[in-house]
Amino acid sequence: MENTSLLRLEPAGKKDKKYLKALYKRAFPRAERKPFYMFGKKSVFLYIIKYDGAPAGLMAGCEFKDMLFIDYFAIDESMRGKGLGGQALSLLFSRFPGRRIFLEIEDPEIPSDNKEQRLRRRTFYLKNGFEVSDLKILLCGVQMLILCAGGNVNFNEYVSVYEKAYGRFFTRLLHLEKI
């Protein structure tokens, strides 16, 4: 495991946006990406993860009431395998104590071309403090599991965070449904 003191989770500045946008495009399939300009909204946080001063990843989401939604989280390909993802989550947990933190992952039990990747992703989050909630969602027709740390969220809370982050109109475009 690498030295945690070398890892930083910082609000993204203007000079970070080019790196973050490029990583965002590499790390997430086009169908899963929201327009990058939405991360400039006051209601959406965008963090750069730095390791020893160098860009190492991104985290984006929304804080609302006692909830924190991690919408996007990625470690740069060149920095993977160093334990930075788990360390970044630990930093986030310490920065937001007492919050219910949640995220979505593609359901690994649904037949797919990337089943192994889905299983590894679920294992990573479970190893790093998340639990599988009872809430399953259809997001643009894709079945997602909601993973939570610090307490569960219900469907109405889940939708309210999306609406806070991206607005009611955009949230409706996502066709969110409880399964």
Backbone angles phi, psi at 120, to 5 degrees: -65, -40
Mean confidence (pLDDT) of the chain: 92
Query: Is-contact 144 179, C-beta < 8 A?
Result: no
Query: Is-contact 150 68, C-beta < 8 A?
Result: no
Residue 141 has a pLDDT of 82
Backbone angles phi, psi at 106, to 5 degrees: -65, 135
Above pLDDT 90, what percent of the chain? 74
pLDDT of 146 higher than 80: yes
User: What is the mean pLDDT of the segment spanning 13-38?
Assistant: 92
- In this structure, what is the dihedral angle of CA atoms 115, 117, 123, 126, given to the nearest 10 degrees? -100
Q: Pull the structure tokens for residue 39.
A: 């991360």
User: What is the mean pLDDT of the segment spanning 150-155?
Assistant: 96
Query: Is-contact 64 161, C-beta < 8 A?
Result: yes
Q: Greatest CA separation found in the chain?
A: 43
The three-state (H, E, C) secondary structure of the chain, written as one string: CCCHHHEEEEECCHHHHHHHHHHHHHHCCHHHCCCHHHHHCCCCEEEEEEECCEEEEEEEEEEECCEEEEEEEEECHHHCCCCHHHHHHHHHHHHCCCCEEEEEEECCCCCCCCHHHHHHHHHHHHHCCCEEEEEEEEECCEEEEEEEECCCCCHHHHHHHHHHHHCHHHHHHCCCEEC
Residue 1 has a pLDDT of 46
Residue 29 has a pLDDT of 83
Residue 177 has a pLDDT of 86
Residue 112 has a pLDDT of 86
Query: Is-contact 9 95, C-beta < 8 A?
Result: yes
pTM for the structure as a whole? 0.91
Q: State how far the Cα of 45 lies from the Cα of 112, in Å rounded to an integer.
A: 31
Residue 2 has a pLDDT of 47
Amino acid present at 134: D
Band of residue 175 on the pLDDT scale cut at 50, 70, 90? confident
pLDDT of 3 higher than 80: no
Band of residue 4 on the pLDDT scale cut at 50, 70, 90? low
pLDDT of 73 higher than 70: yes
Q: State how far the Cα of 97 lies from the Cα of 67, in Å rounded to an integer.
A: 11
pLDDT of 39 higher than 80: yes
